[in-house]
Chain A
Amino acid sequence: MAEPTPDTEGPTLCPHTEYAPGEPHPELPLTGASAIGLEAEVWEALRAVEDPEMPVSIVDLGLIYGVDVGGGTARIDLTLTYSGCPARDFILQEVAWRIEQVDGIDEVDVNLVWYPPWTVTNVTDAGREALERFGLSVST
């Protein structure tokens, strides 16, 4: 039986991953600034949800990709900074819980999406400021 080949080359980059920073997406981030009525209340509920790893709203982190309110149902499309984000369940549960508290919403549909991929360009100016106040540098 052949001896296993020792790993002498060290770590290599994943050939399927693009490591270069992404371009800003023209329609992101969404902040709900022009929302009115019930939809504005849903946005306000979303603003109250913070990333458990930093005291910044998920709206200012640019994680919200869509809010659709109609017939007592709120459908939220949102992403996470990384697919393996350990805060995933925490954020999804808190989003559902906060929006259920909004008067006039009977059903919440939280939809986790991965396109377009989140990049740091999704962070709003307010989010950037909050991150810096928290003591984190933000890549430009």
Chain B
Amino acid sequence: MTRPDPSVEAGGLATAATCPYCGSDDTDREHPKGPSLCRSIYYCHGCDQPFELFR
């Protein structure tokens, strides 16, 4: 097992996010940066889907 990607911790505070698919607030930020700089990658425990937060 390699060490975790250090950038995971480098993006400042995680903001609360609502899942755009099921509306659940039971979500976690998985990475501060997504496919573009203004998006973060989140995971929804309500519907078990990843999604992105525009920030």
Contacts and interface: CB of A to CB of B under 8 A. Distances in A.
Interface string B1-36: 000001101111101111111000000000000011
A135 B18 CA distance: 11
Given A81-B37, A82-B38, A85-B37, A137 B13 contact: no
Given A123-B54, A136-B53, 12 more contacts: A11-B10, A19-B12, A21-B15, A81-B38, A82-B38, A86-B36, A87-B36, A132-B20, A136-B39, A137-B17, A137-B18, A140-B16
Rank and list the top 4 A-B pairs by shortest CB-CB distance, nearest first: A19-B12, A81-B38, A11-B6, A82-B37
Interface of B: 6-7, 9-13, 15-21, 35-39, 42, 51-55
